[in-house]
Amino acid sequence: MSTPKATPEAAPTWPDVRGRFGAYGGRYVPETLVTPLEELEHAYAEAQADAGFHRELDFLLRTFAGRPTPLQFAERLTAHLGGPQIYLKREDLLHTGSHKINNCLGQGLLAARMGKRRVIAETGAGQHGVATATVAARFGLECVVYMGTADMERQRLNVYRMRLLGAEVVGVESGSRTLKDAINEAMRDWVTNVRTTHYLLGSVLGAHPYPQMVRDFHKVIGAEARAQILADSGRLPDLLVACVGGGSNAIGLFHAFLEDAGVKMLGVEAGGSGHKLGEHAARLAASTGFAGARPGVLQGTYTYVLQTDDGQISTTHSISAGLDYPAVGPEHALLAEQKRAEYTAVSDDAALDAAHTLARLEGIIPALESAHGLAEVIARAPKMRRDEIVILNLSGRGDKDMDILARLL
């Protein structure tokens, strides 16, 4: 193998000007949102071209969020599995406990730059809401977070955190009273208050430019990991692994490696409690037997969506709230189609076991989302060579999941 370049080759230039990743992505929104999305697209392009914006964001990522995060060799886990060399990208060490702060700082800074003094967000388990409320407090912005009332009951502690940080948490009573309903409500607010308000979307979902913008704010994960593995082992990894909810932590890790042909990529979705529609949240892992995903439009973007035969959005299930959503980021739909990345799904039980294993062997309690990625690494390790290198994105820490993890004991 030739010596890899220290910085990645120019990454692919998608999305195209219409916000398309191949056939996926785009902008499927009511008329009233077209102008605000165009305004956001232009403001983002301007910020991207401004060295001052990047300097300020880098400064905040270092001094407020805790970047760069370590790339840690998981010595005891590697020895225990007897397979490849396993490295952990420690996004769990960031402020507020996960990678989500990368995107919130980027969009918060952009909102302030656009003169918007109010940010709104949707949240499922509350993790994105907490990260948004944190950034709003840091920048002195008004903050409203929409959350399904079913989720509010399940995630009381995060509701208190958001309120302590000065955010208003608005309970949503419609539909299944969960994330998808909270997104609908946030969209309604945005339409009404768009002059003063930025919608701080939490993953690589929604209408253009969100999937591109959120990806760009997370690219730092892979850029760091690539330089770190080259410094540590002198070569590129053989396999990258990350869990996929909307897909932001995964694309954040993958992006810097897309032109490195020898680096395989694996996204791990929620296999939930079974293969039937409603029992899982596997959108791209259909080839492994999970029912119900086909291309469709949800919340502004064309992508793989879990739906019934007549096109109604399906309910989903995962033990891990961050993976429990019926659609996946459009860039992942393209990477799956191109077979540049592979997607699979892992059950609730396997994720719980994996969390337990990491706690005992490495002294790290992972978020249940991240534990899905780990479970697949554990499953594949026996089939891999000892000289192969795997990087697993440890997207978050497990404090928020202690109620569920405690059931194991």
- Separation of alpha carbons 241 and 346, rounded Å: 13
Name the catalytic one among 89, 100, 180, 219. 100
Specify the stretch interacting with ligand PLP by CB under 6 A; choose among 3-11, 240-248, 270-278, 345-353: 240-248
What is the number of other CB atoms lying within 10 angstroms of the CB of residue 51?
A: 7
Give the nearest distance from C-beta 254 to ligand PLP in angstroms.
11
Given 194, 243, 284, 358, the residue binding ligand PLP (CB under 6 A):
243
Q: Please name the residues in contact with 94: beta carbons below 8 A apart, sequence gap of 6 or more.
A: 65, 66, 67, 69, 101, 102
Given 85, 203, 228, 303, the residue binding ligand PLP (CB under 6 A):
203
Give the nearest distance from C-beta 249 to ligand PLP in angstroms.
3
Given 69, 78, 102, 127, the residue binding ligand PLP (CB under 6 A):
127
Give the nearest distance from C-beta 222 to ligand PLP in angstroms.
13
Specify the stretch interacting with ligand PLP by CB under 6 A; choose among 76-84, 111-119, 245-253, 289-297: 245-253
- Separation of alpha carbons 176 and 314, rounded Å: 11
Q: What is the 3-state secondary structure (H, E, C) of 62-128?
A: HHHHCCCCCEEECHHHHHHHCCCEEEEEEHHHCHHHECHHHHHHHHHHHHHHCCCCEEEEEECCCHH
Binders of ligand PLP in range 90-119 (CB under 6 A): 98, 100
The sheet carrying 24-25 orders its strands as 20-21, 24-25, 301-306, 293-298
Given 85, 178, 248, 316, the residue binding ligand PLP (CB under 6 A):
248
Cα-based distances in Å from 231 to 71, 140, 220, 235, 357: 11, 39, 16, 8, 28
| Residue 367 near ligand PLP by CB under 6 A | yes
* Catalytic status, residue 153: no
| Residue 298 near ligand PLP by CB under 6 A | no
Name the catalytic one among 248, 318, 370, 395. 395
Q: Which is nearer to ligand PLP, 94 or 194 (CB)?
A: 94
Output the residue with the shortest Cβ distance to ligand PLP: 396
Consecutive H or E run containing 139: helix 127-139
Given 306, 396, 401, 405, the residue binding ligand PLP (CB under 6 A):
396
- The site string for ligand PLP over 19-58 (x = CB under 6 A, - otherwise) reads ----------------------------------------
Strand 264-272 and strand 342-347: the pairing is parallel
* Catalytic status, residue 400: no
**Nearest alpha-carbon partner for 318 in 362, 358, 268:** 268
**Binding residues with ligand PLP: total (CB under 6 A):** 19
Cα-based distances in Å from 370 to 117, 167, 191, 364: 33, 27, 34, 11
- Separation of alpha carbons 370 and 322, rounded Å: 10
* Catalytic status, residue 100: yes
| Residue 83 near ligand PLP by CB under 6 A | no
Residues that bind ligand PLP (CB under 6 A): 98, 100, 127, 203, 243-250, 322-323, 367, 369-370, 395-396
